[in-house]
Amino acid sequence: MKKLSKISLAVATVAAVGALSTSALAEEAGQKIGLSMPTQSLERWNRDGSYLQEQFEAAGYEVELTYSDNEVDQQVNDIQNMISDGVNLLVVAAIDGEALNTVMDEAAEAGIPVIAYDRLIMHDGVSYYVSFDNYTVGTLQGQYVVDTLDLDNAGDATYNIEFTAGDPADNNATYFFNGAYDVLAPYIEAGTLVVPSGQTDFDTVATPAWDTQTAMERMQNILASYYADGTQLDVALCSNDSTALGVTQAIQSDYAGDNTVLITGQDGDEANLMNIVDGAQSMTVYKAVANEAVVTLDLAKAILNGDTIDESLIEASGWDFDCTFDTESYETSEGNACPSFLLTPDVVTADNMVEKLVDTGYYTQDEDGYLHPAA
Ligand code: BGC
């Protein structure tokens, strides 16, 4: 019950602080946090928004939460409004990591620290980055393919694979793709994995806005062009669940082959977990966004308290999940590394989903075996 215990702990802490003295809370009560999330149309951001809001409010902060409908101009506008409303700190999950320069300058001028949440913003005004290890997300997907098909012992067998990556405007998307591709490239070079469409570079396989429909249509075209003659598709390597959903729909409607296609994903979206239960998707890389919110809250508190921030925050916070402090991997501009707190992603399949997702309290399971995010 990791998530639930964190929240109840936060509530208990608030109660305890309140009982002892109101001064610490009062200090936080005067402080306002601006939370800018990209969209409600991609499932995970709804969870992020509500976890972040719960955590910050339970700790005594006032919260302004916006979703920007995947429109860059709206996100700029939303952040500008929060700056005028006098927020003390901004937490931003960018729609386009390269498109927030002006508003980041404005935040810097107003002396407002910015935490880039989950997706890095390419601006040196960003104080810290909180995310998961994005490259590892991709390597977990690639390694799952290697292990499941036992590619190291494939002998003369060959398997057909197609790639679907994420939004080029999202800095994470290349990390996911490169992580997966780096694991699979040796097998492609050896001829064990074959890409009938020949589409293997990020720009060609990318999916603007991580859109399900776009991913579906691209896979329908690939199936019509390269698989209509009965060629078997063995693997659809998808960077996340919203794209996996579209690819799965295309396979269900436009693929005549009789094998089960191995399909990867990321996030643990409800519809994808349903597909995993039904055998239509093979795995998802789960990232406990409730814990990402916990790290963000503790980091924000430390920033607002003027504490020194380094790996000691990890020990001082006593988190019961893995997180590393990384000062090298992510740069907001060339040579300018952004200090980052990176959580650890995990593989979820039909075999371990109860242990990883239900027993931990993140999801509940209904009588049909389907999972639903815990309220
Ligand atoms: C997140 C993924 C998510 C994708 C689309 C990425 O930045 O890290 O978890 O699947 O955006 O929402």
SS3 of 150-179: CHHHCCCCCEEEEEECCCCCCHHHHHHHHH
Angle (deg, nearest 10), helices 43-58 and 2-20: 20
Q: What is the pTM of this model?
A: 0.92
State the pLDDT at residue 258: 78
Instruction: Express each pLDDT in 206-246 by its tens digit.
Output: 999 999 999 999 999 999 999 999 999 999 999 999 999 99
CB within 8 A of 354, min separation 6: which ones? Answer: 365
Task: Tell me the best of 92, 210, 214, 340 to mutate to test the pocket of ligand 1, counting ligand atoms within 8 Å of each CB and taking the most.
Answer: 210
Distance CA 158, CA 149 (A): 10
Is the minimum distance from the CB of 238 to ligand 1 under 6 angstroms? no
- Residue 62 per-residue DSSP state: E
Which atom in ligand 1 lies closest to the alpha carbon of residue 172? 7
State the pLDDT at residue 14: 38
**CB distance 41 to 241 below 8 Å:** no
Which atom in ligand 1 lies closest to the alpha carbon of residue 132? 8
Nearest CA to ligand 1 atom 5: 210
Q: How many angstroms does the Cα of residue 365 sit away from the middle of ligand 1? A: 24
State the pLDDT at residue 332: 97
Which atom in ligand 1 lies closest to the alpha carbon of residue 119? 7
Per-residue pLDDT of the chain (375 residues; tens, 9 = 90+): 333 443 333 333 333 333 334 445 545 668 999 999 999 999 999 999 999 999 999 999 999 999 999 999 999 999 999 999 999 999 999 999 999 999 999 999 999 999 999 999 999 999 999 999 999 999 999 999 999 999 999 999 999 999 999 999 999 999 999 999 999 999 999 999 999 999 999 999 999 999 999 999 999 999 999 999 999 999 999 999 999 999 999 999 999 987 799 999 999 999 999 999 999 999 999 999 999 999 999 999 999 999 999 999 999 999 999 999 999 999 999 999 999 999 999 999 999 999 999 999 999 999 999 999 987
Is the minimum distance from the CB of 139 to ligand 1 under 6 angstroms? no
Is the minimum distance from the CB of 362 to ligand 1 under 6 angstroms? no
State the pLDDT at residue 27: 53
Instruction: Express each pLDDT in 49-72 by its tens digit.
Output: 999 999 999 999 999 999 999 999
Is the minimum distance from the CB of 54 to ligand 1 under 6 angstroms? no
